[in-house]
Chain A
Amino acid sequence: MTAPESTREMGMKGYVMIWGALLLIVALEVFLTYQHLAPGVLLFALLALAVVEAAIGLMYFMHMRYERSLLFWSTIPYLLLCFLLLNHMWRDAARIISLKGQAP
């Protein structure tokens, strides 16, 4: 029987702590939602917390931390570039709102 490649991993106690931390972050997200923050501030806060959750899940639950760094560099920069390029469409969204204001 062959063992999986990523065998250097934390114990279940560590995973339970991470699970608890993720639940706390979700609770913080819900808390912030009802603090009457400005929409842009709330969006930034929720996105930042979601990225932190995703990073924790990726590194520990998905064991990327214990894989070779080549895996990280082969996948994550591509995704970041993809999302960076998608940001070019925000100006068009603002243009659409101004067009709607001019509609008869």
Chain B
Amino acid sequence: MAESPMTMHAGHAAALEPSPYGMSSRKLVMWLFITADAATFGAILFGYGFLRAGTADWPRPFEFSPTIVNGMVMTFVLLTSSLTMLQAVAASNRDDRPATARWMGITIVLGALFAVLHLREWFKMFGEGWSLSANPTGGPVAFGASFFSITGLHLLHVVTGVVALTVIAIMFRRGRLNAGHIETTGLYWHFVDLVWMFVFPLMYLLNAH
């Protein structure tokens, strides 16, 4: 029986019923996860909007330098990591394993850099007295609660993405995975970048001083 991405290792039933989406189950599941995660982020951002709309004296503490500049650098780093991930996917399609590992390595470094920049900013805010339940200006603590929880959830996605990319890159380089795995992992990484396209304007720019 001829093998295809949709029927490999999937048994007799799958051989008779090709996927209506024209993709492997692995990739479809990643899309479904991305959809659910997008709903989660959307809901949490709506919650932030609710808190903000219901608070009369919402603080806007972020100065252009260093906070907004740092945010712009983080955005540049994350967008560039999406580009390098595309390079990795293209290399995997050519079955060029060393190039794939190189490009994924660059993506991993950029992802780690994003996390470091983010944590550096967090600790700066902690030093100023901000936290999940504290506002050093004496205003509503909901600012800290929403800012750290939303950016924290995104940071968690970045860190787990970096770990996943590392594992996938190593296993692909050793010949244990195929290009489909790289593409699927790339979908997750692009989603993390896509979420930041909302987090940066809503959490940083709308709170700019």
Contacts and interface: CB of A to CB of B under 8 A. Distances in A.
Interface residues of B, number: 58
B22 A68 contact: yes
Interface residues on A, range: 35 or more
Interface in B43-85: 43, 46, 49-51, 53-56, 64, 68, 72, 75-76, 79-80, 82-83
Interface of A: 1-7, 12, 15-16, 19, 22-23, 26, 29-30, 33-34, 42-43, 46-47, 49-50, 53-54, 57-58, 61-62, 67-68, 70-71, 74-75, 78-79, 82-83, 86-87, 89-90, 92-94, 96-97, 100-101
Contact of B82 (A19, A43, A54): A19
Contacts of A15: 83, 86
Nearest to B207: A33
A93 to B, nearest CB: 4
Which 8 pairs across A and B sit closest by C-beta, in order of nearness? A93-B53, A96-B54, A46-B201, A93-B54, A53-B197, A86-B46, A33-B205, A75-B35
A71 B179 contact: no
A79 B38 contact: yes
Given A4-B93, A12-B86, A90 B31 contact: no
Contacts of B54: 92-94, 96-97, 100
Contacts of A23: 75-76, 79
A82 B50 contact: no
B27 interface: yes
Contacts of B20: 68, 70
A99 B31 CA distance: 42
Contact of B22 (A5, A16, A89): A5
A54 B194 contact: yes
B200 to A, nearest CB: 7
B187 interface: yes
Contacts, number: 147
Interface of B: 3-5, 8, 20-24, 27, 31-32, 34-35, 38-39, 42-43, 46, 49-51, 53-56, 64, 68, 72, 75-76, 79-80, 82-83, 86-87, 89-90, 93, 95, 178-180, 183, 187, 190-191, 193-194, 197-198, 200-202, 205-206, 208
Contacts of A49: 201
Contacts of B32: 75
Given A1-B178, A2-B8, A22-B79, A82 B42 contact: yes
B180 A2 contact: yes
B11 to A, nearest CB: 17
B8 to A, nearest CB: 7
A101 B79 CA distance: 43
